[in-house]
A and B are shown apart, each in its own frame.
Chain A
Amino acid sequence: MTDNSEQEYVAGEPTDDPTTDDMRAQTDVSTSVSSSGSAVHANTVVRAENVDVWYNDEQALKDITLDIPENQVTAMIGPSGCGKSTFLRCVNRMNDLIDAARVEGDLYLRGKNVYDDDVDPVALRRRVGMVFQSPNPFPKSIYDNVAYGLKIQNKEGDYDAIVEESLKRAALWDEVKDRLDESGLELSGGQQQRLCIARAIAPDPEVLLMDEPASALDPVATSQIEDLISELAEEYTVVIVTHNMQQAARISNKTAVFLTGGELVEFDDTEKIFENPESQRVEDYITGKFG
C-alpha cells in the first residue's frame, strides 16, 4: 500500500490544512462543495459531495462526502441497512435501475460528475467494475465469462491474453487453465467469485466496487478472496463494502463508517478508525456495543 501523509478527515468539519501542491488536478470544484473539500494527497478516483439518496420517501443516505484514493482498498463498514451498498451502487449508477431510488448531490469519477445530463450510464458502467455479494457467473464457459466485458465493448486486443491475465490476477488461472471451455457454474462458490472478479477486471476498470464479496463464502474461500483483494489494490482502486469489521481491519487502507440513518460518521485511515476513532458512536460500534 502506498504511503500517505496522515490527514484527518471527518465529515462535515472544515480542515485546517491548506491544499498542497501534491494534489493533482482534480474536479472543477462545484459550488455545492462542502467546506472540507481540500487536502487530498493521493489521486482521488471517486469523489462524493453531499450525496443524498431516497427510496420513495425514506432517506437511505444523508449528505455523504468522501474521497476515494487511487490504488488503495477503501472499506465501508457499518450495521446492515445503513446505506453502504446504496452508496456503492451510486458510483456506477446501478441505482438508476430501481424506480423508487432518487439521487441528489454530486459524484465525480476522475473529475467527471457521473450524474451530469450528458453522461450515458451504460458507458459509465463500462469504466467501473462491480462484484456482487453472491457469485453470479453467467451460464457460459469460463472463457466467455471473463471475455464478456471485452465482447460487449467491442474492445480490440488479444482476448486470449487478456483473459489469461485477468484470471491470473484473480488467482484462478492455475485451477482453470485446462478447462476454460467448461461452464462457469461448474466451479465451487469461492472459485465462482474469483471468476466474477476476473470478469470485472478484464475490461480494466477505473475502480473496482465490491459489495460484500465474501459474505456468501466459506471461511477458506473467504480468506482466499481477502488475500486477493490486497493484491488487486496494486493495479486497481478497490472499494469494498463489508459487514465484517475484522475483514475491513485486515485488508483496507482507509475505512468509512456508515451508521444508522445513512450517515457517514467517520472516514479515515484504517488504523485510526480501529485504534482511536474520533467519534464515540464509531468506538461503540467497533467495540461491539451495538451493531
Chain B
Amino acid sequence: MATRDDVIESFGHVSRTTGTVFRYLLLAATLFGIVALTVLLIYVANDAIRPLTADPGWHLAFFLTLVLPTLAVSGYLFRTDPASFRFGAGVVGALAVSTMFAGGAAMIFVDIVSPVVWFGYVIALCLALAGVVVIERFDRQLPFLARFVGAGAVIVGSVLVVPGLIQSLPVYPTDGIMLTLSLGAPVAVVVGRYAAADAGRRGQALAVLAGVAGVGAGGVLGPLLAIGAVPATVLLAVAVVPTAGFAVGTVRRTPARRTGLLLTAVVLGGTLVGAAAVDALGFAGPQSWVDWQFLTSAHSGNAVDAGLYPAIGGSILLMVTVAALSFPLGVGAAVYLEEYAPDNRFTRFIDVNISNLAGVPSVVYGLLGLGVFVTYLGQPTGTVLIGGATLALLILPIVIISAREALRSVPDSMREASYGMGATRWQTIKNVVLPRAFPGILTGTILALGRAIGETAPLIMIGAPNVLFSLPTALSSKVSAMPLQVYAWASLFASEPFYQAAVPAGVVVLLIVLLSMNSVAIVLRNKYQSDSK
C-alpha cells in the first residue's frame, strides 16, 4: 500500500481535547444529582435545625471542645493508620445509629408493649425451645411427622399459655429486672460471645455476665438520672452494650486498631465537655424545630406544637409487621426459585411475574390492599395489620430479587461438596447455602425495608388516618407513618407555619432514619464483600 519511511522521526500526536472535555462533562453529569441532593439536604437541615439561631458562644464552645479535636485526631489517624481511623469512626457511627434504634425500642417498651408482656413471651419462647430440644433427642424413636407436630404443639401451647400465666402472677420482678433478663440477656449472649471469641468458654461466659450486668445497671441508673428504668435499660441493651462489645471484640482480634478508640473518646468526650460548658456558661443552643418536644408530642393544629410521636411509633410497628411478613415469604420464594425449581416454563413464568411486580407502581399496591383486604375481606381500614400486609406485598419482589442474588453468589462448588457427601437438599440449604448467603440477604432486606419506611401512597389508599393523636398499640390500631404525617402537614395543613416548622423537621427526622438504615446496609455489604474475597 503506502510507501514506508526508512526512519521515523516522530509518531505524531493524537489530540486529546475531545476526550478530556468529554471526561469532565461525564464527571459533571455524574455529580449533578449527588450535588443537587446535597444542597437540598443542607437547605432542609438548616430550616429544621436552624444552627444560625444559636449563640456565637455556643458555636465557639463546641468548636473548641468537639470540632477541632476531632478534626485533628481524624487527620492524624487518617494519614498514619487508616484502618484505625475507620474503626474509631465505625464505633462512633455504631453508637449513634444504635442510640437512634434504642430510642425507637424504648418507645415500644414504654408505650406499646409493657415489659411484663414482653417478659412473658420471652419466657414462653425459651420454654418452647427447651421443649423442642427435648423432643429432638428422640429423633430415632419417633418419626419425623410426630416430632414436627409435637414441636408445633409445644410452641403454640407455650406461647398461648405462658404469657398469660406470668401476667397473672401476684408478684413479679420490676420492669428493670424483667427487661434486663428478657432483652438484655439475649443481647449479652450474642455480644459477649463475639467480644470474647478467643477466650474460651469461661471467658465468654464472663463476658456474657458482664453484658447482663451492664444492662442491669440501667435499672439503677435510670431513676438516678431521671430518665426512668425502662428507657435506661433499653438504651444500655440496644446501644451501649452492643457497641462496647463490638469495640472490645474488634480490639481483641486486631490489637493494632485500638488507637482508633482515641477518635471515639475525643468525639464522645468533646460532646460531653461541650454540653457541660454551654450549660455552665449559659449559651443558648439553636432553636431547632427538631427537638425533644417534636419527637414526643402528637399532632396539633398549631404548627409549633405539632409532633411526630405517633407517626414514629406507627412506622416502627409497620416495619416490624412488614419484616415479619416479607422476610420469610421473600426468602422462601427465593430459595425455591434458586435451589428447587426446575428449569421449565412455569419457573420462567414466575420469574417474569416477579420482575413485573417489582415495576408496579406503589399506588396500585395500595389499591390491592384497598380492594382485597378492606373491601373483599372486610377488614377495618388503616390498621397496622392491613398497612403492614400491603407494604409487605409491595417490597416482596425486591426482597425476592436481592435474596436470589445473594443465593446465586454462593459458589456451586460448595453445594456440590455437600451433595457429594449425601446431604439432602434441605440439609444443604440449611447448613451450607443459607449461612453463606445470609449477609447478602440481610442487606437486601434492610434496603427493602428502607423503601417501605418511605412509602406513603399505599397507606393513603388503605385509609390510614391523616393525623393520629395516639400511638398505635396493637395490630388492629389505626396507624400513621412518618412520611404520611409529613404529607398531611404539607398538603392538608399546608400553611406558612407548618411549612416553616413541622414539615422540615419531619423531613429531617425521616431522612436521618433512612440514611441510617442505608448506611447500615452499605457497611454490611462492604464487610460481606471483603470477607468473601
Contact = CB atoms under 8 A, between A and B. Distances in A.
A120 B1 contact: no
Interface in B7-52: 7-14
Contacts of A25: 6-7
A110 B14 contact: no
Given A120-B14, A122-B14, A123-B14, A112 B2 contact: no
Contacts, number: 45
B14 A126 contact: yes
Range of interface residues on B (Cβ < 8 Å): 10 to 19
B4 A206 contact: yes
Summarize A's interface: helix, strand, loop or mixed: loop
A109 B8 contact: yes
A110 B1 contact: no
Contacts of A112: 7-11
Given A165-B1, A204-B1, A123 B13 contact: yes
A235 B5 CA distance: 14
A120 B335 CA distance: 54
Contacts of B11: 109, 112, 114, 119-120, 123-124, 126-127
Contacts of A118: 10
A26 B14 contact: no
Contacts of B5: 110
A111 B14 contact: no
Nearest to B4: A206
A111 B7 contact: yes
A204 B7 contact: no
A43 interface: yes
Contacts of B14: 120, 122-123, 126
Interface in A217-235: 235
A6 to B, nearest CB: 24
Given A165-B1, A204-B1, A123 B12 contact: yes
A123 B16 CA distance: 11
A199 B7 CA distance: 25
Interface string A19-47: 00000111000000000000000010000
Contacts of A126: 11-12, 14
A26 B10 contact: no
Contacts of A204: 1-2
A126 B5 CA distance: 15
A124 B2 CA distance: 17
A235 B1 CA distance: 8
A43 B2 CA distance: 17
A207 to B, nearest CB: 10
Nearest to B5: A110
Nearest to A165: B1
The 3 A-B residue pairs whose C-beta atoms are closest, nearest first, are A111-B7, A110-B8, A123-B11
Given A110-B6, A123-B13, 14 more contacts: A25-B6, A43-B6, A110-B5, A112-B10, A112-B11, A120-B11, A123-B11, A123-B12, A124-B11, A126-B14, A165-B1, A204-B2, A206-B4, A206-B8
6 contacts: A25-B6, A110-B4, A112-B7, A112-B10, A123-B12, A206-B4
